[in-house]
Structures are given as structure tokens and as C-alpha cells.
Structure 1
Amino acid sequence: MSATAPESEYAPTQRTVPTRGRDRAAYDRALVHAILDAGYVCHLGFVRDGAPVVLPTLYARVGERLYVHGSTGSRPLRAAGRSDTGLPVCLTVTHLDGLVLARSAFHHSVNYRSVVVHGTARQVTDPAERAVALDALVDQAVPGRSADTRPPSARELAATAVVALDLEEVSAKVRTGGPNDDPEDLVLPHWSGVLPVRQVLGPLVPADDLAPDVAVPGYLAAF
């Protein structure tokens, strides 16, 4: 299944249309990018030796492509380096925004923003693209950080693998709002509502061996 979509959206496919909660699915590029750009860790799923494997790892988005960080000794990343096939993967990013407490156990839920990406990952071997990807992975944590660090050495580059995954089969899913209690449960004497969940950064903790005359860079001033 495939559908024609405007440039501002990803085209739905059989793998990106959910079987449940279709009203929460979205294919808007700006929404997908915003969810991806707000995260730090993705979960990369693939099949190894006939069994499913899901690994948490760092990622970054550059345009319509995701870069995922790993070790050159990793079997899945070696598989992604096969130019003939690459590695079929499913990548997910999720933000938990709230715990939804209903009057009934059945209607308890969570508020969240998530993105699911299907595709074939390939290992990045071009030196120029690797440099862009590695800078993006550092800047995903703190924008501007890659320009304020020592570049990787030849030995470090040899030990680091980066795989690329194009944003083609993509969907977002979002839940907001309060509990969906059944009408007959509204009279029950149980508290109902949302407990918001927020991610907080800071304050900064300097390294024990940091020289006292090293100033906090401007891109960290907000923390």
C-alpha cells in the first residue's frame, strides 16, 4: 500500500499505517523532524541470526537522513556495510510527556510523541559524509559542541562506525490530553487526570580535572 502525499508529508505505506489509534498517526515532515530533533537516544531494531534485536544508541538528523553511531566491531553495523544489501532496520524515537490516570484501570495511558522509521541502513564510508555525520551526532546532544572539541584521531575514526538511514517510510504518533473515561465511570470517587513528565537539563557539573580558568562556553550558558 502506498499513497500520494504532498511534499510536506511522508507517503503512508503498509508498514507506517498503524492498526490501532490511526487518528493519532501523522506524516507531517515538520512534526517528524521536531520529534527527532528533540531526542538523544533511538532504538534500532533488526534481525540477527534469525532473532529480533533492539539496541539503544545515539542518532542525529541531517535533512532527510538519520545517522546512527556505533562501533566497527558491531555485527549489525558490519552487516550495514554490505554494499549489496545493507541492513533492514526499524528505528524508533519516543518522548514520554505525561502519565494519564483514568478512573478505570483499562483507560490508563500515557501522553507521548513518537516516530517510527523503516528502511535499509548503510554504513557511511565517504570521509566527507562521515565528518558531517560525526559532527551532527555531537551537536545532537548540545548544538555547537562539535566546533568546541578536538576532532577524532585516525585511531578513533577507525574504531567508530556510522550508519545512515533515509527518511522515506516514516510515521509519527502523538497522544495528548486527559483520560478517556467511560461515561458510567464519571461518578466514581477516583482522582482522574494527567501527571506531566518533563525532561530537565542542568545545572552543569564541571569535570574534576577541569582547569579553573576554562570558561563555560556560550552554548552552555542556558544550563
Structure 2
Amino acid sequence: MLSQTKRTEIKKGSHKAVLEQQALYDIIDESLIAHVAITNELGPVIIPMLAWRLNNHVYIHGAKNSRLLRTLKSGQATCLTFTLFDGWVLARSAFHHSAHYRSAMVFGNFTAIENNNEKDRILNHFIEHIAPGRTQEVRLSSEKELAATDLLAIELNEASVKIGRHGVNDDASDMNIKAWAGVLPYRTVIGPLKACEALDPQIDEPDYSHAYRGRWHND
């Protein structure tokens, strides 16, 4: 079960709250983009970052001189959001048009991973998540590259999940309006691969379709 705190309590649309930990994991694993909030001398800033999960932690990475990572390494509290858009809900009235979505918010503080071997392991996990088997084929990061990279982790101890998937909710007085009503689904389609111009033609195209079941372009 997800934590229930004042910050994670969903007040508006509380019927959309989901408390299963796996729902949080699924949203993060599919999204892979976190919008990360910080406050600096100019005020609040929200920056989209590649983000991935390993067990009960979310990781982000970047260059040592990143203002976002410097701020987070200082111990500043933050909030991460993840959003997946699943479709438009088209109602019989303009007022009741809405959307299907899955969203998550994570609260807490990041900590830095300093050991290069651990950095390498966690960064490679990200590569394997998006392209299984790839770390067996490419040159892995050098000590110099790892030393130039900051890797931060936040534990998933305080989080909320909200999922809108409840279809059309028209007023009874609008049910006789002669307008189509229903859901206009959206989905992210992965692939096909596009080879770079300098690729050796003798190299076979890898198959990553099994990592994106239901979202691969020819599924």
C-alpha cells in the first residue's frame, strides 16, 4: 500500500486515488520522464528528466554542473510527477469533457550515488530497461565518464497515484442530446527502429519488441 500523508492525500477526485504500490511502479516504468521541482534564487523551476526505477528507488542522472542536480544534492526537498495520457473523454456536454490518464506524485529528498561501480550498475539497468541486451553489445562507461556524471536516488516512501479511467459522466438531462459520446484513446507506439547513416549494413537489427508489449508498432 502507498503511504497516506497530508501531502499524498487526494482531495479533488478522490475516487480516482489508487493505493496499490504496483500501480506506482507501473506508471514510472512506462513513463520514464519525471518532472522534477526545485526552488532557486529566481523562484520555482520544474525540469523534465529521464527517470527510471530500480526496486523502490527512482534515479535521475546528469552532468556534474547541472543546476538541478546541484540543488537536489544540497538536500532540498522535491516533488516528482509522472503522467501518462490515455485518451479524451467526449461527453454530450462541453462541461463534462475530460481525459483518461495515469499520474503519480513522489515527495522526498534525493541522495547522491558516489561509488562508480554502483553508478555503472544502475545506469546499465536503465539501458537494459529501454533496450534489453544492449549492455552486452556496446562499450560501457569509462571511469572518467562515470566520474563526470551525477546519479541521484529518491526512495518511494511518500507517493500518490491518481488514475482517471471512468468514461463518460453526462448529466441525466443531457442523455437525449444527439451527439456521439465515448472515449478517444491515445497510446504511445514504439518503433520501428531507424538505423543511423553510418551503420555497418552487416549488423543485424535488434529486436526490442518484447520490452514494449502492447505498444510495439506492429502489435
Superposition TM-score, scaled by structure 2 size:
0.89
1:50, distance to aligned residue in structure 2 (A):
5.6
1:220, distance to aligned residue in structure 2 (A):
5.5
Gaps of 5+ in 1: 1-8
1:193, distance to aligned residue in structure 2 (A):
1.0
Residues 28-107 of structure 1: pairs in structure 2 closer than 5 A: 28-49=20-41, 51-82=43-74, 86-107=75-96
1:64, distance to aligned residue in structure 2 (A):
0.5
Letter in 1 for 2:63: S
Q: Deviations over 1:91-114 (max 9, x none)?
A: 111111111111222211110111
Matches of 1:55 and 1:139 in 2, distance apart? 24
Query: Retained in 1: the 8 A contact 2:27–2:103?
Result: yes
Matches of 2:182 and 2:71 in 1, distance apart? 46
- 2:16 is aligned to 24
Residue from 171, 174, 177 that aligns with 1:188: 177
Letter in 1 for 2:165: T
1:214, distance to aligned residue in structure 2 (A):
0.8
- 1:136 is aligned to 125
Moved over 3 A (4+): 218-223
Residues 199-214 of structure 1: pairs in structure 2 closer than 5 A: 199-214=188-203
Residue from 143, 147, 161 that aligns with 1:154: 143
RMSD: 1.8
Helix, strand or coil at the partner of 2:58: strand
Identity of paired residues, percent? 37
1:203, distance to aligned residue in structure 2 (A):
1.2
Matches of 1:176 and 1:220 in 2, distance apart? 26
Number of matched residues? 212
Helix, strand or coil at the partner of 2:123: helix
- 2:7 is aligned to 15
1:201, distance to aligned residue in structure 2 (A):
1.0
Letter in 1 for 2:80: L
Helix, strand or coil at the partner of 1:87: coil
1:175, distance to aligned residue in structure 2 (A):
1.1
Matches of 1:110 and 1:220 in 2, distance apart? 28
Matches of 1:136 and 1:60 in 2, distance apart? 9
Q: Deviations over 1:66-111 (max 9, x none)?
A: 00122211122112333xxx23111111111111111222211110
1:218, distance to aligned residue in structure 2 (A):
4.3
Helix, strand or coil at the partner of 2:80: strand
Query: Retained in 2: the 8 A contact 1:76–1:87?
Result: no
Helix, strand or coil at the partner of 1:38: helix
Helix, strand or coil at the partner of 1:184: helix
Gaps of 5+ in 2: 211-215
- 1:215 is aligned to 204
The alpha-carbon distance between structure 1 residues 148 and 177, as it changes in their structure 2 partners (threshold 3 A), is farther
